Structure 1
Amino acid sequence: MLKARVYDLSLFFISLAIAFGSSEILTVNSYYIKALIIFWFFSVLYFRLRVFYKNGSTNIEYGISYDLSMVLFAGPIGLLIFETIYRFTVYSYRKWTKTADPSELSDTFYNIGCFVITNSIAYFLFQHFIERFQTVPFGFWILMFLLVCISSYLSGTFMVIVFVILGELKSFKEGIDFIFRGISFFDYGKVAVSNGLLLFFLQNKSWEMLIIMFILNYIVSRSFYYKSQSIQNKVERDQFEQMAYTDFLTGVFNRTFMDKKMAELNQTGESIGIVVADIDKFKGINDSYNHAVGDKVIQHFAATLKSYLDVDDFLFRSGGEEFTLCLRKRNFDESLSLVNRMLGGIANNSVAVEYNGEQLFISYSASFGLYYYKVNEHISMEKGYILADELMLQSKQLGRNKVSVINGLLNEKVV
């Protein structure tokens, strides 16, 4: 951590040397102060719309930056003044709201140093190449785009060095991937156009257009922010729902989702095969080995059952070693044929487990009950499940490793 703090301060002092060693502020002081206030106000306003994510122990923020227009307008020292005021405003806000990280002060110096250095390099490149680019169509905009790309890649490089110091970089490729991370050329184009227009308005003292430009960017940024928040909230809700409806051991749906889905299927009036399957003599597996081995058998059983199903079918873990299946869009013969294939596939297969430091292969069988019928007001899904469960128990009583079946459409019983 000490090395990281030294690195942060080093960038800051390098930025001081560049700023004070380059030139004075390029504009009249009163003119610069007016621009400084506008840039500071809208940057603080935009700060709440920035996107944050965590990489290891480091918080990284993304948001459109207007530093390029500021440095081209006021020079490196003008940018240094702006960045210092803006970053310490953010620092004070985070301290006041108790949202500051333990390294907040050091990170503030890092941000000042990083943005001043990268944009100062862009400034010197602009001064050197602008006359050449003005001889080609859209040369100014092409140069602005290239400067935005260079600044972004340099900023990414500085951050990769932080990861190296903190030991959070696993490979050279990971560092390269971070530098060229998922920011599209459209994003670079947006930053280039925004900064180019702001520079024009600054140079022409078009204060109204400057403020309108900031307001427009704020409205667009706020719209994208709320849309991204909405998407993120939906993803989080979907993840929470998936967790609530998923059996953690096997990854299939749990009993809660089974009850919910059966209530929905009650309204369909479709012909459906309800299957209850249970591992034979499962208690003996646990007693002969241990519960970890038993869990492996359950996982294998669930995966085997799932491998036979289509996208419209459902598989639920309805008990300890009991699973319930809803076979849809099949007639009776197709449903019975599928269950028989499951029965044979399980009986002719084995699961690899580790026990007492050795790898063992355990064979097991299962008993099935299939009740096929058309969902209606007289026989609900819940009632169908009970009848299928009774058929599974009947298979157990008949010697296990069997399928007991009733075709509810014809009221025919098959053993």
Structure 2
Amino acid sequence: MLKARLYDFSLFFTAIAVAFGLGSFALDKNTFFIALFIYWFFSMLYNHLRITAKSGATKFDYGINYSLSFGIFAGPLGLFIFEAIYRFTVYISKKTSKTADETEFWDMFYNIGAHVLIYSIGYYLFQIGYPLFEGIPFGFWILMCTLALLTILISITFLLTAFHILGEIRNLKEASQFVRQSINWLDLGKTAFTNGLLLLLLEQQQWGMVVALFILNYLVSRSFHSKSQMIKNKIERDKFEQMAYTDFLTGVPNRAFMDKKMSELNQSGETVGIVVADIDKFKLINDSYNHAVGDRVIQHFANTLKTYLSENDYVFRSGGEEFTLILRERAFRETIELVEKIRLGVETSSVEVDYQSSRHDVTITSSFGLYYFKVNQYTSMEKGYIYADQLLLQSKELGKNKVTFKDELAQRAPISAM
């Protein structure tokens, strides 16, 4: 941490040296203070739209920056004054709202130093490049695009150095990944053209147009920020829901999702087959090997069940080694044939497991109870599940590795087994 603080202060004091040693203040004071106030006001207004990212334990924020145009217009000294006032105001604002990080005060020195150095370099490159690009069609805009790219690369270099000192980035692969994530070509183009237009308006002192451009950019940025936040919230909700409804061992939906889906299907009135299945003699597997092998067998059983289902069918882990299937859009005979095919598939497959430093092929059998009915004609989904579970018990009693079934539509037909 001491090295990081030394790095922050080295940038800060180098920025002071550049601003006061090499910079000059050629602007009229009234012009400078008008520009300073406008940039400070809108920078504070834009501040809550900046995006916070994280690399390891280190947080940093980024967004479209307007310091390039201000630095070219006001020079290094004027830029230092702006950055110092702006960054200190941000710090006070965060402290007041109690949103400041523990390192917020020290990070302020990095932000001032880095931004002053980055855009002072942009200022000097503009002074050198403008006469060269002046005679080229669209030369000014080509120069601004070039400066926008160069300044973002310098900014990334400063950040990479900071993260390397903190140990957050340890090799070239991580550095390369960070660079790819940091460069957004659309944002780069917007930065170049917005700063270019602001610079032209500043030089002509068209303050009304400067304010109008900032307001327009704010409204557009606010709109995109709101939409991106809505998308982010939806993704987080969907992820949370997926986690809440997913069995972590097998990756299939869990009992909570089964209850939810059954409640939905109760309104459908469709004809379905509910199948309750489990692994025969599963306790013997745990006793003969261990629970890690047992978990691997359960995963294999779940994957085998999934391979036989269509996209309209459902499989849930409804208990320890018990799974429930909801088979849809099939006639009764087709449903029986599918379940029998699943039973044979389980019986004839094996799963490779590690046990006591060697590999073993474990084979299993499974039993099934199938209840076929029209939802809510006589029976709800929940009741159908209970009947299917009872049929599973009968398969166990009949010797295991069997499919026991009943067709409610056959008007109380006798129970059969295969």
Q: Is this a same-fold pair by TM over 0.5?
A: yes
User: Offset of 1:357 from its aligned partner?
Assistant: 4.3
Show the counterpart of 2:395. Answer: 395
Show the counterpart of 1:80. Answer: 80
Q: How far does the alpha carbon of each residue in 1:282-309 deviate from its partner, in whole angstroms, 9 at most, with x for none?
A: 2222333333332222222212212222
Partners of 2:140 and 2:334 in 1: CA distance: 69
Task: Tell me if 1:36 matches 2:75.
Answer: no
SS in 2 for 1:111: helix
Cα gap change, 1:302 to 1:26, in 2 (>3 Å): farther
Show the counterpart of 1:350. Answer: 350
Partners of 2:25 and 2:334 in 1: CA distance: 82
SS in 1 for 2:181: coil
Partners of 2:22 and 2:170 in 1: CA distance: 38
SS in 2 for 1:274: strand
SS in 2 for 1:180: helix
Q: How does 1:357-368 map to 2 (within 5 A)?
A: 357-368=357-368
Show the counterpart of 1:337. Answer: 337
User: Offset of 1:23 from its aligned partner?
Assistant: 2.5
Letter in 1 for 2:392: M
Partners of 1:170 and 1:330 in 2: CA distance: 57
Task: Tell me if 1:234 matches 2:212.
Answer: no
Structure 2 gaps of 5+ residues are none
Task: Tell me if 1:386 matches 2:386.
Answer: yes
SS in 1 for 2:406: strand
Q: How does 1:120-159 map to 2 (within 5 A)?
A: 120-159=120-159
Asked whether the equivalents of residues 19 and 76 of structure 2 are also in contact (C-alpha less than 8 Å), the reply is yes
Show the counterpart of 2:55. Answer: 55
Letter in 2 for 1:148: A
Q: How does 1:215-254 map to 2 (within 5 A)?
A: 215-254=215-254
Partners of 2:323 and 2:170 in 1: CA distance: 42
Show the counterpart of 2:109. Answer: 109
Asked whether the equivalents of residues 272 and 330 of structure 1 are also in contact (C-alpha less than 8 Å), the reply is yes
Structure 1 moving runs of 4+ over 4 Å: none
Q: How many residues align?
A: 415
**CA RMSD, aligned part only?**
1.8
User: Offset of 1:212 from its aligned partner?
Assistant: 1.2
Show the counterpart of 2:12. Answer: 12
More deviation in 25-34 or 41-50?
Answer: 25-34
Partners of 1:365 and 1:373 in 2: CA distance: 26
Show the counterpart of 2:187. Answer: 187
Show the counterpart of 1:98. Answer: 98
User: Offset of 1:316 from its aligned partner?
Assistant: 0.8
SS in 2 for 1:48: helix
Show the counterpart of 1:65. Answer: 65
User: Offset of 1:379 from its aligned partner?
Assistant: 1.9
Partners of 2:161 and 2:285 in 1: CA distance: 54
Asked whether the equivalents of residues 153 and 180 of structure 1 are also in contact (C-alpha less than 8 Å), the reply is no
Q: How does 1:180-329 map to 2 (within 5 A)?
A: 180-181=180-181, 183-329=183-329
Overall identity of the aligned pairs, in %: 57
Q: How far does the alpha carbon of each residue in 1:331-363 deviate from its partner, in whole angstroms, 9 at most, with x for none?
A: 333322322222122222233333444443332
SS in 1 for 2:52: strand
Partners of 2:65 and 2:278 in 1: CA distance: 61
Partners of 2:282 and 2:180 in 1: CA distance: 53
More deviation in 173-182 or 315-324?
Answer: 173-182
Q: How far does the alpha carbon of each residue in 1:151-193 deviate from its partner, in whole angstroms, 9 at most, with x for none?
A: 1111111111122112222431321232232643221111112
Letter in 2 for 1:20: F
Asked whether the equivalents of residues 156 and 182 of structure 2 are also in contact (C-alpha less than 8 Å), the reply is no
